[in-house]
Amino acid sequence: MSLIQKMLGAAAAIVVGLSLAVAGGAAPAQAVGASICGSGFYNIDSASVKGDGYTWGTVYLAYNSSKKQNCVYMNKSRYVGSPTWTSAWITVEGGYGSRTDEGFFSYYAATNPIYAPSGRCVRWGGTGSNQDGDNYNAIGGSYVSPWEHCG
């Protein structure tokens, strides 16, 4: 076998090996968008969920203008695919209620929609962590908005 044939064979083996490594190692993102809240919702705000030196995900505030409803969802960016403590929440000013979705989730947390009357502000946020139920030295991060988006 000539030197060129050996080099071409080695190069082909490397390309095939890298292709298999990328295909086998890449997990599907499983991130969600505003449609997780229902039909007619669109994102109006977002923030990084940070803490302990890491970004744990992104929390989004979604809105449906025809129903005057808000919804919050948190897409994980660390420990994606593994169930770790994750939350999304929203509170409507003036005692109009709140929604929370929290638990050991693999990809995201998302609240049910909540009505926010005109002139009422919302406070919203989310958390992410490495807490998996057995880890008692958990680290994590959170985001808490100010009162804002006063319709």
Residues 6+ apart with CB under 8 A from 117: 68, 92, 96, 151
All domains in the chain, ordered by first residue: 34-144 (2.60.40)
Q: In angstroms, rounded to a whole number, what is the distance separating the alpha carbons of residues 108 and 115?
A: 22
Which residues, in sequence order, are bridge partners of residue 76?
A: 57
For 3, phi and psi rounded to 5 degrees? -60, -40
What pLDDT, on the 0 to 100 scale, is given for residue 3?
42
DSSP string, 74-113: EEE-SSTTS-EEEEEEEEETTT--EEEEEEEESSEEEPPP
What pLDDT, on the 0 to 100 scale, is given for residue 22?
37
Tens digits of residue pLDDT in 36-90: 999 999 999 999 999 999 999 999 999 999 999 999 999 999 999 999 999 999 9
What pLDDT, on the 0 to 100 scale, is given for residue 50?
98
Q: In angstroms, rounded to a whole number, what is the distance separating the alpha carbons of residues 117 and 65?
A: 11
Name the residue type at position 41. Answer: F
What pLDDT, on the 0 to 100 scale, is given for residue 24?
40
Bigger pLDDT: 99 vs 136 = 99
What pLDDT, on the 0 to 100 scale, is given for residue 132?
84
Q: Which of 3-17, 26-40, 103-117 has the highest mean pLDDT?
A: 103-117
Bigger pLDDT: 114 vs 3 = 114
Q: In angstroms, rounded to a whole number, what is the distance separating the alpha carbons of residues 21 and 63?
A: 40
Tens digits of residue pLDDT in 130-143: 988 777 778 999 99
Q: What is the DSSP letter of 148?
A: B
